[in-house]
Amino acid sequence: MDADLADRARRGDRDAFAELVRIHQPALSRFAARSVSAREEADEIVQESFLRAWQQISRYRPGTNFRAWLFTIARFLAMARRKDQQRHPPPASLEPRLEPEAPPLPERLERLKREVDALPPHQREVVAMRFFDGLDYRSIAEVTGESEVTLRSRMHDALERLRSLLNPNQTG
């Protein structure tokens, strides 16, 4: 389905591209939210990703994974934003920040979330793309520029680490 819509979008069909946005926006929003600290920033990355995708649709190679191509754009935007924030940290706000509270998770799930968040960034990224975004290793390789072997190794290491942290009394 993506291939047909992307092909039509490459020929200037705005409705086809709008359908691609509708299909991929939820996953791209989750991806962006994990990549930056504030919801507003994530929303900006999603919007900018779709804008750039539309502007560069002629560069999309037919037959490749559209979602992976889109995630690549968002990943580079998020990395650039983080780098910029490190160079130019925002001034401290005088107003308290009011974030909506997330509903409480069962204790074990909350612990798993904390442990995933504590993984090294290169492991956390592959775990998130594989399990939260539903990308296969080939698509993750397209997004990150890493080999599938490297990604599988990172996933293995991450899962072993999570297993040992969550079940410290079990031996492999």
Number of domains in the chain: 2
Encoded amino acid at 71, one letter: F
Residues sharing a CB contact under 8 Å with residue 7, sequence separation 6 or more, in sequence order: 62
- Band of residue 20 on the pLDDT scale cut at 50, 70, 90: very high
- Domain span at residue 64 reads 1-88
Per residue in 104-119, pLDDT (tens digit) is 667 777 788 888 888 8
Domain-terminating residue out of 46, 62, 88: 88
Task: Tell me the per-residue pLDDT of 61-91, one tens digit each, with 9 for 90 and over.
Answer: 888 889 999 999 999 998 888 787 777 766 6
Distance (Å, whole) CA 12 – CA 153: 41
The CATH number of whichever domain residue 121 belongs to comes to 1.10.10.10
pLDDT tops 90 at residue 141:
yes
* 16 and 57 housed in the same domain: yes
CATH no. for residue 52? 1.10.1740.10
8 and 78 belong to one structural domain: yes
pLDDT the model gives residue 17: 95
- Between 14-35 and 2-10, two packed helices, what is the crossing angle to 10 degrees? 110
Average pLDDT, the chain: 85
Whether residue 99 has pLDDT greater than 60: no
Decide if pLDDT at 92 tops 90.
no
**Residue 171 within any structural domain of the chain:** yes
Q: pTM of the predicted model, to two decimals?
A: 0.68
Task: Report how far apart, in Å, the C-alpha atoms of 48 and of each of 32, 43, 85 are.
Answer: 11, 9, 17
Question: Do 43 and 118 fall within a single domain?
Answer: no
Domain shared by 4 and 58, yes or no: yes
Does residue 35 fall inside a structural domain? yes
Can you give the pLDDT at residue 84? 77
